[in-house]
Amino acid sequence: MRINVARSSMPPFEEYCAEIRDLWDTHWLTNNGEKALKLEAALMEVLDTPNVVLFSNGHLALEAAIRAMGLSGEAVTTPYTFASTTHALVRCGVSPVFADIRPDTYTLDPAEIERRITPQTTAIVPVHVYGNFCDVEAIAAIAEKHHLKVLYDAAHAFGATYNGRTAAAFGDAAMFSFHATKVFHTVEGGAVVCKSAELANALRLERNFGITGPENTVSVGGNAKMNEFQAAMGLCNLRHLDEEIEKRRKVCAVYHARLNGVAGLTLCPERAEDNCAYLPVLFNGFRKTRDQVFSELAAQDIYARKYFYPITPAFECYADRFDPNDTPIAKRVSEQILTLPLYAGLAEADVQRICDILLR
């Protein structure tokens, strides 16, 4: 049986059908429908934040945040991330300046951030990688010192906390992804959270053409509204969030029991506040390379993921613009890391088989 690196969790079929039933009565399918408004309110409570603005996907949410915050010039960011983080900056006319990462959490190294700041820098755009939080205190101090805005890419961080606080607590704003493979999803979807009501209003204009009324358009916005079927999936999945994370935690515990302490393998430490979104393993000095392990797993219908490889400065579309060797730790990690299959429905026997293959 094929084992993928991720599998979308689904609420009970009957629960979702019950949630969408009234849409056949109202025929209100998008444009700030009742379910989207209800989901925003629920997420405000879960994330402990005063403003949640939903979007049709996380990437458009990130682009909207960049524009709504008025970012320009340069932004110090990480090369060790999904394409979306870098692409969003470039598409919005902001030049990414890449700082290297920490070798333990794979998040931005604060010392490297400060080294990359120039007179053209207007923001820091860090990423909470695999649910590992950035050094939020150090980043806040750097931002205050240099009068910079902080926009967190928190795509991996929903359901995780740091000292009891969610990722919504840090920075001027944070973007969450609700893609189908995430711990919490709305099939596709995303959100930007912030403390500022003014910024939240600007984000709402960005997602709906800048329209404020039937005959009034005040800014050049786009179209990134979450529809009611997405919001309904979110309302259902939110009810099962704790259960979802606990199932993932049990899968992670088996991996850690089998692989911790094995020479040449490094796993992120288990944390009670983790959301168990990913299971990254660093292959450094192991008897097989990362790529060999990837191929041998695939030969047995087990599909891990080289996540993130390559780092974004090495993308073909950025050839001659960036040098991936400028961030050697990120480059090395990208060549050595593999995320193993992890999802709530992954059977323990399958996890044991994956570990058996690795250790054989």
Q: What is the pLDDT of residue 129?
A: 98
Provide the whole-model pTM. Answer: 0.98
Q: What is the pLDDT of residue 135?
A: 98
In the chain, the domains with their CATH numbers are: 13-239 (3.40.640.10), 241-304+340-359 (3.90.1150.10)
Write out the chain in H/E/C secondary structure.
CCECCCCCCCCCHHHHHHHHCCHHHHCCCCCCCHHHHHHHHHHHHHHCCCEEEEECCHHHHHHHHHHHCCCCCEEEECCCCCHHHHHHHHHCCCEEEECCECCCCCCECHHHHHHHCCCCEEEEECECECCECCCHHHHHHHHHHHCCEEEEECCCCCCCEECCEEHHHCCCEEEEECCCCCCCCCCCCEEEEECCHHHHHHHHHHHECCEEECCEECCCCCECCCCHHHHHHHHHHHHCHHHHHHHHHHHHHHHHHHHCCCCCEEECCCCCCCCCCCCEEEECCCCCCHHHHHHHHHHCCECCECCCCCCHHHCHHHCCCCCHHHCHHHHHHHHHEEECCCCCCCCHHHHHHHHHHHHC
What pLDDT does 21 receive? Answer: 98
pLDDT in tens, 335-356: 999 999 999 999 999 999 999 9
Express each pLDDT in 234-247 by its tens digit: 999 999 999 999 99
For 142-185, the pLDDT digits (tens) are 999 999 999 999 999 999 999 999 999 999 999 999 999 999 99
Q: Specify the pLDDT at position 30.
A: 97
pLDDT at residue number 196? 98
